[in-house]
Structure 1
Amino acid sequence: MSLSTHVLDAARGRPAADLAVRLDERDAAGTWTPLAERRTDADGRIRDWGRTPGAGTFRLTFDTAGLSDFYPEVTVAFRITDPGQHHHVPLLLSPFAYSTYRGS
């Protein structure tokens, strides 16, 4: 599985650099297990998680406390059914809203 993310700070109109992000995996019992923690680069991206898990349910938790007074963190859960594909999970953050989608 190839996984990347990109965080854009819409209030400032630039990438969110040096933002902490954690990748977790959910097991069959519904328990979340941390897999990796990274910080976004100068372009607001994380390209390498250091692991290549297979199919399953995962979540990215973004530590957004420094970017949003309302959302101290944003968690995006997603399912991977084809680990051979690249999965890009971007986050667009503003002070009182955020959006995400499956990118390419």
Structure 2
Amino acid sequence: MAGYLTTHVLDTARGRPAAGLAVTLVRLTPEGRETIAEAMTNADGRTDAPILGQDAFEPGNYELIFHAGPWLRAEGLVDGEILFLDDIPLRFGLSEDMHYHVPLLLSPYAYSTYRGS
């Protein structure tokens, strides 16, 4: 089995999935940054397919960027010109051919993540 990466976002302020939040996946290399995928979370707070599929999997360093600011504004959870949280970058390494899951638990003033299954 080749490795792959999935993600999801939960709105912890309201206790439900964060539907409609944009996510970007970037591969980090010595040569620079390469955008691999862009996706939007569905009604379950997940991307419709793995954000990094088996066909594109390579061990290495990556960054998921959760575009939280526009979503928080659209949901009416924050307002104002300057937000406490806007884009949230998470950097991590993928070293083995396996399923990696990196979720984001989000509220207007805090977030957390973990290596899920």
Greater strand content: 1
| Same-fold call, TM cutoff 0.5 | yes
Give the number of the structure whose alpha-carbon radius of gyration is greater. 2
* TM-score, structure 1 as length reference: 0.90
Question: Among the aligned pairs, what percent are the same residue?
Answer: 46
After TM superposition, the structure 1 = structure 2 runs for residues 1-104 of structure 1, keeping only pairs within 5 Å, are 1-29=3-31, 31-46=32-47, 47-49=49-51, 51=53, 52-65=56-69, 66-67=71-72, 69-82=83-96, 84-104=97-117
- Separation in structure 2 between the aligned mates of residue 58 and residue 10 of structure 1, nearest angstrom: 25
1:44-96 superposed Cα distances (whole Å, 9 cap, x missing partner): 002323642210000100010132642011110100111x1100000001111
Equivalenced residue count is 102
How far apart in 2 are the matches of 1:32 and 1:50? 15
Amino acid corresponding to residue 86 of structure 2 in structure 1: P
- Structure 1 pair 75–50 and aligned structure 2 pair: CA distance change class (3 A): closer
3-state SS in 2 of match to 1:26:
strand
Tell me how far 1:2 sits from its aligned partner: 1.1
Which structure carries more helix by proportion? 2
CA distance 1:95–1:27, shift in 2 (3 Å)? same
Cα RMSD for the two superposed structures = 1.4
Gaps of 5+ in 2: 73-77
- TM-score normalised to structure 2 length: 0.81
